[in-house]
Structure 1
Amino acid sequence: MFNLIVGFVDGTATSDRMLEYTADEVKVFLRQGNTFDLGRLERLPTLVMPETGFTDVKQIARVGRLTNLRAHGREISFKLVDTPGIPTIRTEQVEALASDLGIQPFEFNRTHWAVKDVDLYGALFGGGALRQLAPKVFDLPIHLPVEPDLVAVMMPFTGFDRVYGAIKEAVESLGLRCQRADDIWESHHIMDDVISLIWRSRVVVSDLTGKNANVFYETGIAHTLGRDVIQLAQSLADVPFDLQAIRTLKYLNNGEGHEKMKEELTRRIKTLVG
């Protein structure tokens, strides 16, 4: 499924145009009593575009995910966060793929919000509307949405359980979820789980202590994917030159140091997701 938002390019939609041209079974899935399940809408990939045919409007579509969905009387506000690595698309390319996307041609000329029971990324990539720079050594799980309550932790596994415990307490105190790669086992290769975790996360916490090469590599991937990365280290000497321009939260590896780190980390995450 994906959100198709036509015309509401300023981040505000009207409820009377919600779920137009949407299959009845999809409407049932997205309804919550007399209102809409904003949480489910927020988890869907999204295509936002203007009505077509107006020369005074920039005719491009954007692909991404929704955040900050809020109902205000008869209006619903939202923010679109572009999917990393996916450029804007000319609207004529979207129109050419109307059948693959489950869109009726007349929909391009009416401001509305529909939900289509179609694989958005599969249709766009399969139809040639999107080309993406892709790594050769692993696959990006572009079919997975970013989970706004998920914080990923990149750190050495051995000897860091107490540090991870403090990080987890900071994250969970904000009502968020915290995971590191050894918390999950979904793929045959651990790197696939690491990439999936980074991709799905809203924030990535990287502990650079010990100059761990894996953590450096994973931190670079998180930066490339546009994630908010919080750097930790027990010594600033462990921070490589290319990352020294980014603020690093230094902490002492003892009970008191963990508590102080937890407080500072909580404040920083709250600033990012608030």
Structure 2
Amino acid sequence: MYNLAISADENAWKKPRGFHDYEASRVAHEYTTNTLQDKYKGNLQALTENPTLFAYEQGSTSPAQVGWITKVEQLQGTVRIHYEMQPDFPTVPVEKLTELSWDLDFGRLEIYRTHFAVKDVNLLSVLIAAKIVEKRQTEKGRTAEAANEERPPAIQIKPEVFRIPAGHPDPKLASVMMPFGKEFKDVHVALQQACKDAGITLERVDNIWQEDAIIDDIFSLLYRSTYVICDFTGKNPNVFYEAGIAHTLGRTVIPIVQKEDHVPFDLRHRRYQLYEDSKEGLASLQAAVTNRLKTLIALKG
């Protein structure tokens, strides 16, 4: 878990410690999941438990910094955030923030708005994987606790519609859930190359026949995959269903789509990759998915 503090004020985070004011409606609400909104509603002081990434709105060349919230005060419609920077941490350049926007769970256009969000992401693990922070720098004090943030306990699933295959997810396997129409042939080819460039294999369920029922093949593929690419283009209900299964299984889902309004409403707060079905657009999609996979592989160690 981490806090994301964005400000349009170029002097907001220049001091090693200080305070900054936000409109109350912009704190732990915007670009924050409903679950986390509920967690911090009426309990803003709990924000002091999370490491914080202090950044500036798009257009600023000032780097972001990592630190902590030391105190939270609220008076009518204003929330005052008291902060303290982590003294031995390097800054995070703007271009690096852009590169890590998916891993840090930045919403689309989020960096353009002053607000204070809470993200269900281990900030220090992302910075270590990106080689911005060295692991030894996170092994003392508060950063040690945050770097080793415990994941919630795994849930036990006992599906009745399909059976659970033997074995464990393959760290070198990705699957793609997408419409099977011929108009998606070139998209599939681009995704296959993206996975190959990242050093993993991509499979699609229409190339598999292991079970008597297609739903068992779908579930088996999702279960065996570590990464699941879902193309929401066309609002295909099967893809929505398969994405839901992947999320429930705890697989890493990479959403892609040609039109923003084809992304389900309850998933629009999460990052997705927009692409155009053209030679240039598919080349960009391929590069983006390759980079995303390489980052995820690094994060998993």
CA distance in 1, matches of 2:214, 2:162: 11
Contact kept in structure 2, 1:206 and 1:219, CA below 8 Å: yes
- Identify the residue that residue 109 of structure 1 maps to in structure 2: none
> Is the Cα–Cα contact under 8 Å of residues 204 and 230 in structure 1 kept in the other structure?
yes
Answering whether residue 272 of structure 2 is matched by residue 248 of structure 1, we say yes
**Are residues 1:202 and 2:226 paired?**
yes
1:149 has 2:172 as partner: yes
Compared with structure 1, are the counterparts of its residues 135 and 253 closer, same or farther at alpha carbon in structure 2 (3 Å cutoff)? same
Give me the whole-angstrom Cα distance separating, in 2, the residues matched to 1:145 and 1:171. Answer: 20
Q: 2:286 aligns with which of 256, 262, 266?
A: 262
Does structure 2 retain, via aligned residues, the 8 Å contact 1:233–1:250?
A: yes
Distance in 1 separating the partners of 2:160 and 2:226 = 24
CA drift of 1:140 comes to 2.2
Tell me the percent identity: 45
Report deviation, 1:193: 0.8
Secondary structure at the residue paired with 2:167?
coil
Residue 258 of structure 2 aligns with which residue?
A: 234
**What is the match of residue 196 of structure 2?**
172
Write the letter of the residue equivalent to 1:179.
E
What amino acid does structure 2 have at the position aligned with 1:138? F
Asked if 1:136 is matched to 2:153, the reply is no
**CA separation in 1, counterparts of 2:167 and 2:292?**
26
Q: For the Cα contact (< 8 Å) 1:85–1:225, is it kept in 2?
A: no
State the alpha-carbon separation in 2 of the partners of residues 238 and 198 from structure 1: 22
Cα separation, 2, equivalents of 1:145 and 1:262: 27
Check the 8 A contact 1:174/1:270 in 2, yes or no: yes
2:51 corresponds to: none
Map Cα deviations across residues 170-190 of structure 1 (whole Å, 9 max, x no partner). Answer: 000122100010111111111
Distance in 2 (alpha carbons) for counterparts of 1:133 and 1:261: 34
Ranges in structure 1 where 5+ consecutive residues have no aligned partner? 1-81, 87-131
Aligned-pair CA distance for 1:133? 3.6
CA distance in 1 between counterparts of 2:273 and 2:189 reads 16
Describe how 1:37-48 pairs up with structure 2 within 5 A.
none
Task: State the distance in 2 between where 1:187 and 1:139 align.
Answer: 10
- TM-score (structure 2 length as normaliser): 0.47
Residues 209-232 of structure 1, C-alpha deviations (whole Å, 9 max, x = no match): 000000000000000000000000
Q: 206-215 or 171-180, which moves further after superposition?
A: 171-180
Uncovered stretches (5+) of structure 2, i.e. residues with no partner: 1-150
Tell me how far apart the structure 2 counterparts of residues 199 and 85 of structure 1 sit (CA, whole Å).
Answer: 15
Which runs of structure 2 are paired with 1:71-220 in the superposition (5 Å)? 85=154, 132-141=156-165, 143-158=166-181, 159-220=183-244
Deviation at 1:151, TM superposition (A): 0.5
Secondary structure of the corresponding residue to residue 276 of structure 2: coil
Instruction: Count matched residues.
Output: 149
Q: CA deviation at 1:191?
A: 1.1
Aligned partner of residue 217 in structure 1, secondary structure: helix
Q: Contact conserved, 1:171 with 1:178, CA < 8 A, in 2?
A: yes
Query: Within 1, Cα distance between the matches of 2:194 and 2:157?
Result: 35
- 1:56-67 maps to which residues of 2 (within 5 A)? none
Give the distance between the partners of 2:178 and 2:208, measured in 1 at CA.
15
Question: 1:85: Cα distance to partner?
Answer: 4.9
Cα-Cα RMSD: 2.2
- Letter paired with 1:175: G
Is the 1:85–1:133 contact (alpha carbons within 8 Å) kept by the matching residues of 2?
no
What's the offset of the Cα at 1:197? Answer: 0.6
Aligned partners of 1:220, 1:265: CA distance in 2, in Å?
A: 20
Letter of the 2:168 counterpart? P
Instruction: State the TM-score, normalizing by the size of structure 1.
Output: 0.52
Amino acid of the residue matched to residue 157 of structure 1? F
